[in-house]
Structure formats: C-alpha cells, structure tokens
Amino acid sequence: MTDTPLPDGSPRPPSSSPSAAGFVREATAADLDAIGRVHAAAMLASLRAAHAAAHEVPLPPGVEAMVAAPVIAAGWEQAVVAPPSPAHRVLVAVDEGGEVAGLIGVAPSPEGTDAAEEADDADVNAAERGLEITALGVAPEQQRRGHGSRLLAAAADQARAQGAEVLLVWAVRGDESLAGFLRGAGLTRTESFRRLPVGQGVIEDCWAAVL
C-alpha cells in the first residue's frame, strides 16, 4: 500500500508496516475467531446506539444473542479463505501487540454511480465504478487509536487500484460516533437508505465519497 490519502484527500496514517500504533494487512483463516469477536462487538455497539436513538428502548435480548462471535466468524470464512474475486477483500487492523483490533471488507458495488451523483456535484457518468465497504468495525476498547482511519485508507487504496471512482458504505442511523468518523473522513450521507428488521427496526444510510 502506498501513502495515498483518505477519501477527503487528507493525509493517511501509516498502514502497511508495523508501527507503535499498528498496521493493516490481509486477513487469514487464523484471524477468523478474532474477526468474529471484533465484528460482533462493534456491530452490537452500533445497533444498540441505533435502536436506542430510534425507539428510546434497548436492543431486545434476543437480537443481542443472535450477534454471537462464533456465528459472525463463520459468516466471514468464505470471504477470507475463498473470496469470489480479487476485488473482494477482507483486511484487518493489528495493534502494537499483534492482536486484531478491527476489520474492513470491500467488494464491487453496482450502486456506485447513483450514490456518487448524490454525494458530489461533479459530472458522473455510467462508466464510473464503485467499491463498497461491506463491513467496518473496530473493537470498542481499541477505538480512537487510528485503526479505523488506517482501515478506511486501505479501502480507498483498494478502490483506486481497481479503478473505482466511488467509495460506499452503509451505516446504521443513530450511531453518531460512526457518523462523525465517516463525515470526518470525507464521506457524505446520501439520500439512499434501507430498513432493517432488527428489534423494532433500524435504518441504514448509504454514505459515499467520490475518489
């Protein structure tokens, strides 16, 4: 990975070599248990915030029980060990102690053009391609240490390397910490959204950045 900027053009933190803060690398099968733990914890924190913001009640216990680390890890296995194409990748952020602190998944997105038109006033044509962040999570105890920025910068690297011109991510509405992070990195919330049948229901908004 080269020292290319975040989607908004700001300098990126180092991600390709070990440092005092950590680095980003390709996920391997040996990471699956850690990926399950990290993603489950990050997902629960986000869903709790979204559900509380939308309904002023906690996330139902049954929903929390379904977001279990072993289940999440199993869901990532194929993406890690046998991705459907070179454009599908799973990366992990590693802390100074060698522990997996966060993850990001990327895949080609057919929605890139529409989202780009909402995110930027520049001319966007049908030839433009998007890369979607299918998952982005940092363990709650590892947040605010640069791991999320390194992961997002790595995704921007991947998008540019593949010739993509739009970076997309779906984020639950009501998780203000995540929204602030995405906004600070230069992504814009578009008008696209979808409803998820989680508890009493939560909404995911599509965020996008033209690269």
Does residue 2 lie in a domain region? no
Contact 185, 149 (CB under 8 A): yes
Specify whether the CB–CB gap between 104 and 155 falls below 8 A.
yes
The span from the CA of 108 to the CA of 117, in Å, is 17
Contacts of 166 by beta carbon, 8 Å cutoff, 6+ apart: 109, 112, 113, 115, 116, 119, 124, 128, 129, 130, 131, 159, 208, 209, 210, 211
Full domain range(s) for residue 37: 23-210
The answer as to whether 13 is a domain residue is no
- Could you tell me if residue 17 is inside a domain? no
Q: Let me know if residue 138 belongs to a domain.
A: yes
pLDDT at 46: 96
Looking at per-residue confidence, does 207 or 9 come out higher?
207
Residue 16: inside a domain:
no
Please state, for a pLDDT cut of 70, what percent of the chain lies above it: 82
Mean pLDDT of the 81-110 span: 94
Residue 116 has pLDDT above 60, yes or no: no
- What CATH number is associated with residue 116? 3.40.630.30
Please check whether residue 207 is in contact with residue 166, taking contact to mean a CB–CB distance below 8 angstroms: no
Residue 117, domain member (yes or no): yes
Tell me the pLDDT band of 125, cut-offs 50, 70 and 90.
very low
Sheet of strand 202-210: strand arrangement: 23-26, 89-94, 100-109, 130-138, 166-172, 202-210, 188-196
Rounded distance between C-alpha atoms, residue 13 and residue 199, angstroms = 37
Top pLDDT among 18 and 172 is at 172
Residue 170, C-beta contacts closer than 8 angstroms, at least 6 positions apart: 132, 194, 204, 205, 206, 207
Any domain includes 164: yes
Q: What is the pLDDT of residues 198-209, one digit of tens each?
A: 999 999 999 999
* Sequence-distant (≥ 6) Cβ neighbours of residue 18 within 8 angstroms: 94, 96
pLDDT digit string (tens) for 32-43?
999 999 999 999
- Whether 85 has a pLDDT exceeding 70, the answer reads yes
**Overall domain count for the chain:** 1
| Residue 92 within a domain | yes
pTM for the full predicted model: 0.82
